[in-house]
Amino acid sequence: MPRPKVFVSRRIPEVGLNAISAECDVDLWPDRLPPPADELKKRAKDCDGLVSLLTDRIDGALLDSAPKLKVVSNYAVGFNNVDVPACTARGVCVGNTPGVLTDATADIAVTLLLTAARRIGESAADAKSGKWLTWEPLGWLGQDLTGRTLGIVGMGRIGFATAKRLHNGWDMKVLYTEQIPRPEAEREFDARRVELDELLRESDFVSVHVDLNSSTKGMFSSEQFAKMKRTAVFVNSARGPLVDQAALAETLRSGTIFAAGLDVTEPEPLPPDHELYKLPNCVIVPHIASATVETRNAMARLCANNLLAGVRGEPLPNWVNPEVADKRR
């Protein structure tokens, strides 16, 4: 029986690569930048499995040019880069890496919230550039966290972990939006499920944790920002296109809200001359929420397990489209 052929679209941690190489012939894209679309298509052509990243677009055209492909194992929890219905229609399994990056991502959401609330980026830059004059009673005034209201937009795993940190650590009241109630959040930190409008009006901090799809794209625009408090801090560690960035820039420039912290943007990378970088009340980090050694290793293990299960014809440990089971290739 020939070994399955797999294309891995970027170097992932050894622990994942070694597990895949033990059973498969691996073609590894060596560059720091993702393979261009036509190169991805070329490499995937004869493959049984594909390890993709959130920077790879997996669509019908790519799938049609890879008739042997059995599995797409996405090295991410988010899978908005994968056309899942197109995979399902062609009998291709899709895997992702939920759970293992929950804590690391919640840590970044809290970090951004604190950084933006306490003006860490701008004050540190000021100090470094020699503008630190003296201790000033009215200098660098930020926002307190303790006892304030946190609005979690999307109480999934990461929203829950973020709320838990801020409720237990800073005694914050928690409001949340979600399609169905989350009894665990209501029990553990007395969270209250509300409509988005109420959450925006009442919250001192708004942290976004929803998936990107056609109904959430652009869900934060001028209308939503206008409902927030002038002292509010907005944090996005989910996906860039959830936010209308021109509207956010205008919101921050005009002081409609206090500050924002972003781990994700549209596009990524955000061009260095983008207006959001010019705003002192906007802190941006380059999509690093899952970037810890332990988390990236755990993602690699899970990604490899999904891939291997896919090429073996077994159920994927984290299966995005289990409905494909009875018609998989």
Interface residue list for ligand DGY (CB under 6 A): 54, 76-78, 101, 289-290
* 287 carries an active-site annotation: yes
Of 268, 294, 314, 323, which one is the catalytic site residue?
Answer: 268
Of 119, 239, 296, 328, which one is the catalytic site residue?
Answer: 239
Least distance from ligand DGY to the Cβ atom of residue 99, Å:
11
Closest among 86, 81, 4, 91 to 49, alpha carbons compared = 4
With contact defined as beta carbons under 8 Å apart, do 238 and 210 qualify?
Answer: yes
Least distance from ligand DGY to the Cβ atom of residue 45, Å:
26
* 268 carries an active-site annotation: yes
* 157 carries an active-site annotation: no
Judged by beta carbon, residue 88 or residue 105, the one nearer ligand DGY is: 105
How many whole angstroms separate alpha carbon 86 and alpha carbon 59?
7
Least distance from ligand DGY to the Cβ atom of residue 29, Å:
18
Q: Is the dihedral of CA 258, 260, 266, 270 positive or negative?
A: positive
Judged by beta carbon, residue 82 or residue 279, the one nearer ligand DGY is: 82
Task: Provide the token pair at 227.
Answer: 């409902």
How many Cα atoms occupy the beta-carbon half-sphere of 163 within 13 Å?
32
Judged by beta carbon, residue 24 or residue 76, the one nearer ligand DGY is: 76
List phi, psi (to 5°) of 192.
-120, 125
Of 182, 287, 296, 328, which one is the catalytic site residue?
Answer: 287
Count the residues in the chain.
329
Judged by beta carbon, residue 210 or residue 257, the one nearer ligand DGY is: 210
Least distance from ligand DGY to the Cβ atom of residue 77, Å:
4
How many whole angstroms separate alpha carbon 54 and alpha carbon 285?
17
Least distance from ligand DGY to the Cβ atom of residue 103, Å:
12
Neighbours of 272 (CB within 10 A): 6
Judged by beta carbon, residue 55 or residue 221, the one nearer ligand DGY is: 55
Prior bond to 267 cis, omega within 30?
yes
Q: Which residues are catalytic?
A: 239, 268, 287
